Amino acid sequence: MTEKKLADDHLSVGSQGFDDETLEIKLLGITDLVDDIRAPLNDNELVSAAVKLMLLLADFIFELMTVGQAREVDVKKAERN
């Protein structure tokens, strides 16, 4: 399977990894950190917010990918049956 086909299949399956409350909390955290980056009180806050944002986004993407991969396995199992 090509990478493009795999990506298309992943996008078509979608992610059901977050309930509304969890997603809202994660998005508010991202928004707060972006606000801190846009108007930092000092250089330390800027660096701290940037690092926290990178980690939060990495976790967010990893969770979405993990859920998507788990669903992909379910789809492949269903296709075999």
pLDDT in tens, 26-72: 889 999 999 999 999 999 999 999 999 999 888 888 877 776 655 55
What is the rounded distance in angstroms from the CA atom of residue 12 to the CA atom of residue 17?
Answer: 15
Q: How far is CA 66 from CA 10, 15, 33, 41, in A?
A: 11, 9, 24, 36
Separation between Cα atoms, residue 45 and residue 40, nearest integer Å: 6
Query: Average pLDDT for residues 10-15, to the nearest whole number?
Result: 58
Round to whole Å and give the CA distance between 9 and 33.
32
- For the chain, what are the domain ranges? 18-80
Cβ pair 63, 8 in contact under 8 A: no
* Alpha carbons 32 and 29: distance in angstroms, whole number: 5
Kindly tell me if the per-residue pLDDT of 18 is higher than 80. Answer: no
| pLDDT value of position 78 | 59
pLDDT at 52: 94
